[in-house]
Amino acid sequence: MDSLTQIALGSAVGVAVMGRRTAVWKAALWGAVAGTLPDLDALIDHGDPILNMTRHRAESHALFFLTLAAPLLAGIVSRLHGEATLFRRWWLALWLVLITHPLLDAMTVYGTQLLLPFTDHPYGVGSIFIIDLAYTVPLVVGVVAALRLKNPLGQRWNAAGLVLSTLYLAWSFGAQQHVDRIARASLQQAGIETQGLLVTPAPFNTVLWRLVATTPTQYHEGYYSLLDDQAEVRWTAYPRGGDLIERHGHTEPVARIAAFSHGFFSLHNGGDRLLLTDLRMGLEPTYTFRFDLGSPTAVGHVPVTQLGMRPDLGRALPWLWQRLQGNTLSTLGVATP
């Protein structure tokens, strides 16, 4: 999730666990710090954009390592504030702050390696977008109320914010499962036999959902809004580069993205360059993670570069808003290099 959300969650958890045992500002401050710490791995440059992508949310987001770090951080905080008698409480609070960070990240589609060093499997439920104000605002309101009121009522506001945000997270998962059933029925009706199906929310909401279904040679993109009149999906097919995947799938960069994306990727020729795309994050034809692998004859032996592409927000946001309301629209199809 975005940094503001992680700060708000960390502060809310810190305030809730510490209660009135220490000053509210201390609990909120150190909750925010601990809630930010795991994402500092983004500052590490592994020398390759694909490695930078796949090594983010790795050791710094692993429950095992964060559990080891919690008592060390609690020791620093309790000594700094002269609260040695509260060491165990600080330990519990900061441990919960640290582990709720990757657990929340795992609800997005990106991929969080929660169980390192035992497995590097990237967990990604994909039921919530990386920025969703419906999740973040209750946390912010609760923490601000706790800081301003500095009494039991403020603590109740903070607890209410945590409850509401958690309920929204549960709602997102339930909505995702509902849309998944509709998508699978639609694929069966259309006679599309898929290798995988991705169901993830469109930006900033959990009403409109983006669907991606893969076959060996194509990927099919569709959208479904909970406000649609009919429980059906209109699919648009795109070439996935099956022959290129068969030819280059064993190379290190392609194999790495294939594993990290759980198979939701494509390959295609861009002139004399081979382009690798993670299909999970973006709106056709713009994607957050698209990589230039170099000449097809040199894949794996030349530096990889990441291609920056973003949608034309002037057209993308109105399109998303109209589609969210259940209006049937053609594919967006807008790209800005």
| Per-residue pLDDT reduced to its tens digit, 92-135 | 999 999 999 999 999 999 999 999 999 999 999 999 999 999 99
Mean pLDDT across the chain: 93
Whether residue 257 contacts residue 293, with contact meaning beta carbons closer than 8 Å, is answered with: no
Judge whether residue 18 has pLDDT over 50: yes
Please tell me the distance from the alpha carbon of residue 118 to that of residue 128, in angstroms, as a whole number.
26
| Per-residue pLDDT reduced to its tens digit, 51-82 | 999 999 999 999 999 999 999 999 999 999 99
Mean pLDDT value of segment 8-35: 97
Strand pairing of 286-287 and 236-239?
A: unpaired
- Using a 10 angstrom Cβ sphere, with 0-12 exposed, 13-18 middle and 19 or more buried, the burial of residue 334 is middle
Whether residue 31 contacts residue 138, with contact meaning beta carbons closer than 8 Å, is answered with: no
- Residues 327, 222, 314, CA angle at the centre, nearest 5°? 60
Residue holding tokens 């199906």? Answer: 197
**Which sign does the torsion angle of CA 3, 7, 8, 13 carry?**
positive
- Residue 334: the pLDDT is 42
- Residue 313: the pLDDT is 75
Mean pLDDT value of segment 316-325: 86
